[in-house]
Structure 1
Amino acid sequence: MKIVAVTPDNVEQETLFCIKDMKKPEAKNKQKWFEKRHKEGLKLKILKDEADKMIGFIEYIPAINAWRPIDADNFMFIHCLYIYAKKNRNQGLGSLLVKAAEKDAKEKNMAGLCVMTSKGSWMADKRLFEQNGFIEVDNRGRFELLSKQWNTTSPEPKLFDWTSQQNKYKGWNLVYADQCPWHEKSVEAMLHVALDAGIDLKITKMETAREAKKAPSGFGVFNLLHDGKLLEDHYLSATRFKNILKKELKK
């Protein structure tokens, strides 16, 4: 096994893991986002086997620049961690990626490493991190904030109250960022559904980590709201959005 660091110089060759066709528009959006964030300390590393096949990846960044509603000064924060094939899971491969992030955090004299987990879609399970010495330090709704802290003089990480941000969104709102390459495709599909249904869907793209920290959901970078109510916090298919519209419009 080997871990390859993706950089702005090799990103088109190494890809962004979760999207491999770098010619797609959604890949280009994520690439632009990645190159900007790389200057802010973001790291994307891909785990490969002896045949150079991609097995998994991790994306992490100094928490002050994290695109999640967290307060964790002097910590490194893991945005994403994923082992693709089920046959490769539970073999300690995810731990290799966690250890790579921990090594970077220690080299930068940070206080610790933290991550948000959830049993919901598209989030890493907390068990992987607990096996690597993390403990839960905060939680809100279905989200948990876990931390591995080696400098005990620094305050523990905590979650911001994202529910306090929801009331300011009147009507139909979709607030998202390019941290996930699949968001743009979902936004386009949802916009077409909204137009067909005669719904005025206001779309806002977040351009900074500061905006994402004030997002109206735990996941932060994808938020569908109707009159101050959070309806979904992960990207949607057109069919799923149609079902949500039917349910809301019946009320």
Structure 2
Amino acid sequence: METLTIKQLTEENIAEEHICCAISDKKSTEGYNAKKEWLKKQFKEGHVFKKLDVRGKVFIEYVPAEKGWVPIDAPNYMLINCFWVSGKYKNHGHGKALYQECLQDAKGMNGIVVVVANKKQPFMSEKKFFKKQGFELCDTAAPYFELWYKPFKKNASIPKFKDIAKKGVCDVKDGLSVYYTNACPFTEYYTHVELKRVAESKGIKLQITKLDTREKAQNHFVPHTIYNIFYNGKFVTQHILNEKYFDRFITPQ
């Protein structure tokens, strides 16, 4: 495959550039625009979005952990927020090249940290890639979340999940509850339209909560804050639900 350019999104070019996800999903236009607005604000906080200069899902997002929207304690670490190489762009070294961008930008910090799952999960980075890059497991949270890190300094502190994010339970004990941010362009439509419609058709009570500040996200009930579903107070999945997937994860009681 030909050598391709890595491009960084900025406040100046984001209006003209695509953000990889939901490129052709017209239903998610509102969420697509909401993510662009979210990114504009996060760029001021050190958030980085780099992508292959192609019309596809080949990108990485990272930010100093103190400014991340994840309930972890990882002082002076770089947090990989979202990392995706899809389709024909897999197995050509593009993921490694994007990771190297993060590695370069994290120089001088304590290291890099990432939230993964103990086995492959949808909408989450796979830990096998990070294991190959020398990352180590440093903490776990129910039911399957793992925190992996790559320290750059011998005496660097070991990152950990905040206690509130370890048990996989929320404060809404009755019915279905969904929490989401605009860090993903799919969340607006699939929460307020698709999930709401399916829950109503099945007679299941639904509460929607938008994590619209960093403080809320950093003190959330599970480590995956982009989108997560709880049923009767217990975490179920971070899979974005529609009618096709609803019954796979939700069994009315």
TM-score by length of 1: 0.87
Matches within 5 A, 1:198-217: 198-217=203-222
Hey, what does 1:83 align to over in structure 2?
85
User: SS of 2:103's equivalent?
Assistant: helix
Structure 1's consecutive aligned runs of 4 or more residues displaced over 4 angstroms after TM superposition are 52-55, 242-245
Hey, what does 2:240 align to over in structure 1?
235
1:184 lines up with 2:183 in the alignment: no
Hey, what does 1:97 align to over in structure 2?
98
- Higher RCO by CA contacts (8 Å cutoff, separation 6 or greater): 2
Hey, what does 1:147 align to over in structure 2?
149
Hey, what does 2:114 align to over in structure 1?
115
Residue identity in the other structure for 2:185: P
- Whole-Å Cα distance in 2 between the matches of residues 27 and 129 of structure 1? 28
CA distance 1:126–1:168, change in 2 (3 Å):
same
Residue identity in the other structure for 2:128: R
Hey, what does 1:127 align to over in structure 2?
128
Kept in 2, the 8 Å contact 1:17–1:54? The answer is yes
Aligned match for 1:221, one of 213, 221, 226: 226
Identity %: 31
- Displacement of 1:113 after TM fit? 1.0
Residue identity in the other structure for 1:136: L
- Whole-Å Cα distance in 1 between the matches of residues 32 and 170 of structure 2? 32
Q: Which runs of 5+ in 2 are unaligned?
A: none
Q: Which runs of 5+ in 1 are unaligned?
A: none
User: SS of 1:190's equivalent?
Assistant: helix
- Whole-Å Cα distance in 2 between the matches of residues 57 and 219 of structure 1? 19
CA distance 1:243–1:128, change in 2 (3 Å):
closer
1:63 lines up with 2:65 in the alignment: yes
The structure with the largest helix share of the pair is 1
Hey, what does 2:201 align to over in structure 1?
196
User: SS of 1:14's equivalent?
Assistant: coil
Kept in 2, the 8 Å contact 1:15–1:21? The answer is no
Aligned match for 2:7, one of 4, 29, 38: 4
Aligned match for 1:16, one of 13, 19, 33: 19
CA RMSD of aligned residues (A): 2.2
User: SS of 1:168's equivalent?
Assistant: coil
- Displacement of 1:145 after TM fit? 1.5
Which deviations, in whole Å up to 9, do the C-alpha atoms of 1:30-51 show, x marking residues without a partner?
A: 1111111111111100113xxx
Residue identity in the other structure for 1:62: P
